[in-house]
Amino acid sequence: MKKGLLSIIIPVYNSRDRLAECFESIVNQNFERMEVIVVDDCSSDGSLELCMEYEKTYAYFHVFTKENEGVSAARNYGLARAQGEYIQFADSDDMLYPDACRRLVECMERDASDLVICGYYNEREQSKILPLDLMVEGREGLREQFPSLFTQFLIHVPWNKLYHRRVLEQAEAAFPLDLNKGEDLLFNLKVLEQAESISLLPEALYFYHNVNDQSLSFRFREDSMEIEERLFQSVAAFWDHCGGKPDPGFLSHFYLTAVKNKLYALVGRSGFDAGTCREYMKKWGRLESVGRLYGLRQCFGAKDRILLYLIRNQRTRVLYLYYKWMGD
């Protein structure tokens, strides 16, 4: 480890069109103690050639290539090679705002914190997502702030954060390789379990570009509900770790929204016939977390209570017709 050094880890895969913007946003930072770890995940669109150009031009750019294994493996690969005391992640089609690196490092050094969480600008929503301006210390402080951080999607991603190396090592943090949705959240939960102090910085320092990305929430994949079940259980276990009260409303409402999105995607986006859709609905209705939601049905409005009754009691024909009507 090199004390005072910032390591920025960027996984790259076929992002040639926006890659230069990302790199230029880093080159133009007014912060000198940095290294940029670029991990090309077997790109085929000229991304690697552009990465090599930046490595030749800037001594602090270091480009690595590896076989295609996905973004989590690329981030882990970069993390294993980073030498900095401070660790930051960026996606290759996003940008850092000017002064982002300096502001993040200064905040961490001023507060002696394990983690800094800043705000970001969401291009598709054309809005800034900002945390409160405060320090979060210990389990009690995290318990108070976690619902807000969770519902604002401030802990679901790695790129609006600065991590101190010590907390990553204590957490033995690595991005899980068996997921390609929700893996960032699981990574951050491991870090939060070990973080003794967290600085919240209410400034948008990261530009999140997702204008042309169809929302993952409404895409169909066969294991989508199993993934949501795993995420729900992981967040619930973390909440217990913080000493939170059983069945927090924010988590149940969040999971119910995920269930409704998956039903919509199943009927409207999968291309399956009615019989196949109903088989998926039956399987989903037997999931432990869906049963947990059903047990909390009195916390929801009448429409959601009816939905939970239908899915839990295998009324799949009615469910299918309802979501078919919504899609049409």
Beta-bridge mates of residue 39: 11, 64
Q: 197 and 224: one domain?
A: no
Distance of alpha carbon 107 from alpha carbon 14, whole angstroms: 34
pLDDT value for 251? 87
Q: 310 and 195: one domain?
A: no
Q: 167 and 37: one domain?
A: yes
Distance of alpha carbon 324 from alpha carbon 328, whole angstroms: 6
Q: 192 and 284: one domain?
A: no
Q: What is the CATH number of the domain that holds 174?
A: 3.90.550.10
| Residue pLDDT tens, the chain, 328 long | 899 999 999 999 999 999 999 999 999 999 999 999 999 999 999 999 999 999 999 999 999 999 999 999 999 999 999 999 999 999 999 999 999 999 999 999 999 999 999 999 999 888 999 998 999 998 889 989 999 999 999 999 999 999 999 999 999 999 999 988 899 999 999 999 999 999 999 999 999 997 554 444 446 778 888 898 999 999 989 998 888 776 668 888 889 999 999 999 999 888 899 999 999 999 999 998 899 889 888 889 999 999 999 999 999 999 999 888 876 5
Q: 142 and 91: one domain?
A: yes
Q: 195 and 292: one domain?
A: no
Beta-bridge mates of residue 62: 37
SS3 state of residue 61: strand
Q: 224 and 254: one domain?
A: yes
Quick one: DSSP state of residue 216?
G
Terminal Cα distance for the chain, rounded = 57
Give the Cβ contact number of residue 249 at 10 Å: 12
- H helices of 87-223, in order, are 100-111, 138-151, 165-171, 183-194
pLDDT value for 249? 80
Q: Give this prediction's pTM.
A: 0.92
Residue 254 identity: F
Q: 41 and 109: one domain?
A: yes
Query: CB of 121 within 8 A of CB of 128?
Result: yes
Q: 197 and 267: one domain?
A: no
Token reading at 187: 């990574």
Q: 168 and 310: one domain?
A: no
Q: Single out the residue in 192, 208, 224 at which a domain terminates.
A: 208
Distance of alpha carbon 182 from alpha carbon 61, whole angstroms: 29
Q: Single out the residue in 176, 208, 240 at which a domain terminates.
A: 208
Q: Residue 125 half-sphere exposure, CB side, CA atoms within 13 Å?
A: 9
pLDDT value for 219? 61
Q: In the chain, how many domains are there?
A: 2
pLDDT value for 269? 84
Q: Single out the residue in 208, 243, 265 at which a domain terminates.
A: 208
Q: 197 and 249: one domain?
A: no
Beta-bridge mates of residue 2: 84
State the residue range of the domain holding 53: 2-208
Query: CB of 115 within 8 A of CB of 162?
Result: yes
Query: CB of 202 within 8 A of CB of 130?
Result: yes
Token reading at 33: 């103690």
Distance of alpha carbon 65 from alpha carbon 273, whole angstroms: 42
Query: CB of 210 within 8 A of CB of 122?
Result: yes
Q: 227 and 142: one domain?
A: no
Q: How does DSSP assign 118-139, residue by residue? A: EEEEETTTTEEE---SEEEEHH
Distance of alpha carbon 315 from alpha carbon 187, whole angstroms: 37
Query: CB of 263 within 8 A of CB of 310?
Result: no
Q: How does DSSP assign 23-52, residue by residue? A: HHHHHT-S--SEEEEEEE-S--SSHHHHHH
